[in-house]
Structure 1
Amino acid sequence: MNLSRLLNSLLFKIIVAIGLGILCSLFFPEWAGRTFATFNGLFSGFLGFFVPVLIFSLITPAIASLGRGAGKWLGVTAGIAYVSTIISGLIAYGVAEGTYPSLLNNESMVEVKDIDEGALQPFFSVEMDPPMGVMSALLLAFTVGIALASMRTEVLYRGAEELREVSMNVIQKFIIPLLPIYIFGVFLTMGMNGNLKVTLTQFSKVLILAVLMTWVILALQFLLAGLFAGRNPLTALRNMMPAYFTALGTSSSAATIPVTLECTRKNGVSQSVADFVVPLCATVHLSGSMQKIALFAFSIVYMTGIDMSPGMALGFIFLLGVMMIAAPGVPGGAIMAAVGLLQSQLGFDDGQVALMIAAYIAIDSFGTACNVTGDGAIALTVNRLAKGQLRREEQHA
């Protein structure tokens, strides 16, 4: 059963796709390379078309739901989750600025050639203009979401939720199954263009750094939450380890919820708070995912010499935090939601986006484990706030 689940997992398929892409680049004829270059051109074109739709369909109901949940505690919990995610991104930016000049040896990554340039030309291409720009989709989602939250229009709200389900269905049934083929084509093209070795050598260091930083983020989260809630941070973190390793094995926040609930209650969080915070944070708290995406993105920025000011980096992080809260809870969902920002804010091309997707999924379980375990720290914080309010109400009674 476990072997069957492993063979059917997206991570396994991506690893196989990368390996086959590298291997096949050594002997594939040009016509075969052009065939996959054509597929990649069509697939990336569809992604460019679909990303603004995805952003609108995910963020609109997410914002609208803030006006329809459990009073202020929904907003408080979502706010803490957003702040935690943003802090994770800011730490990633600081780490990148401090370590990349030495870690990456001041070398420049060879540009990953676009699939429509260089040695491998696609047989044909199809223009797929998106219905709107990424920022337009984001602004429209905020506008409509806030309106739905204030007006409580049930018909439109249900329509927004159904549009979200349609978009997630497209991701699960169409985009995710084709990702291994897309990744295969990217690594095949990179190998046949002659720039694969340098790219992989440089990027492997960032993969290791990203895993280490998820542990640092967890230590910081539980240190702050433990001090605020009056709990021993080490004990609280140790109590969450079953959830960490469950998420590490399943790569699913949703599948880990029962274990996360049990671990959270073991830390002294009331059942009512745990039952509310844990399922919500499984959707909106993605500090581990933020850490990975930011570190990978900034490494590509550094190695390719993209001109990125601090203001540009901060804007990317704050917008990415919104994307993380609204990201669908499916394997690879966070990176798919971030594709639009990578292209519009940082100017990534198709090859660089494909590298981001492959790297993200390669250590997806570590990010998920960080997200899930950090939910326990947020539960401790909300539990302390709820107790404080209850005491104040009793004193005023």
Structure 2
Amino acid sequence: WSRIFPDGLGKEINEQGVAFYNNLIDFMIEKGIQPYATLYHWDLPHNLQRTMGGWLSDKIVEYFALYAEACFANFGDRVKHWITINEPIQTCINAYGIGIFAPGLCKGVSAEPFLAGHHQILAHAAAVDVYRRKFKAKQGGQVGFVIDCEWAEPMSDKMEDQAAAARRIDFQLGWFLDPIYFGDYPESMRQRVGEHLPKFSEKDRELMRNKIDFIGLNHYTSRIIGHQPNSQPQEIHFYQVQQIDRTDKWSSGEAIGERAASEWLLIVPWGIRKTINYIVKKYENPIIYITENGMDDEDDPSAPVDQFLNDTKRVNFFKGYLGSVAQAIKDGADVRGYFAWSFLDNFEWAMGFTKRFGIVYVDYKNG
């Protein structure tokens, strides 16, 4: 976004930015690679944050639609698969709740993460609306929305634990998909978030209705979920209202899966099958792409390269997860594609170069 419209307002396009993406897209196609383009992967133009509070302002919906239209016009003759927004929950919670992602807001205002999410849903719908009205007939592409979700496995057969696990999924998938498919947020969110959860107008509902061609699922891990009536005071409001006990161990002490390098990433291949099948059942078997799935190694500058290249753990990870995706397809899921995260070791957001997700090792020192 900031490369196409540095000020975010859609008034003056950056031709150098357009040329950059044209060259990249043309090169990919020349090499036989079909481009899947994400419009927003957290690169908010600073001017929009500075002047109107970024995703906290309803004005951003219009500006995002202008940006999307410029991309469709310049690249849509070659790009046939568009993703509007990547992992909106991360922007909402980590950027406008906890404050560990840009713009780093942590004001303790319970409504702000939900307001940011509200505007991202409407921005997605506005972008799809522009595409269908102005470009789809000629370009024939599809526009989707990428949601990240860890599977929530109930801690026990107790009804309260089953309900807690379902609630956890509502606060991940349902938050962003239910408005598009059903016109409103999940009832579990309405009950627990209350007045902090914005309301959709009839105009909003009309804009959102069926504004999705595919669901992109980013999935890495799973957790065991039980009911926890007493919220922890150190948790932010988003987690407090869910009333869940989120753990990586069963009551026996056995871990749900082997840990990768990151503390949050437990290797649980069967979780992706359950997540896909949940989406199939609730959202009437939509087209699904697995848009991110992978695991990380700890970067150790002193370790010999051979240690990284003997990559048995990652090989087993992908065997397990791809096998579970294949099982979901046999179950009836319409999964059209799979993207590993990541092709190369990269600058992994707040973790920088300390974690290596690449299936290809990158020598940072010697290029």
TM-score (norm 2): 0.25
Structure having the larger proportion of residues in helix: 1
Structure of larger gyration radius: 1
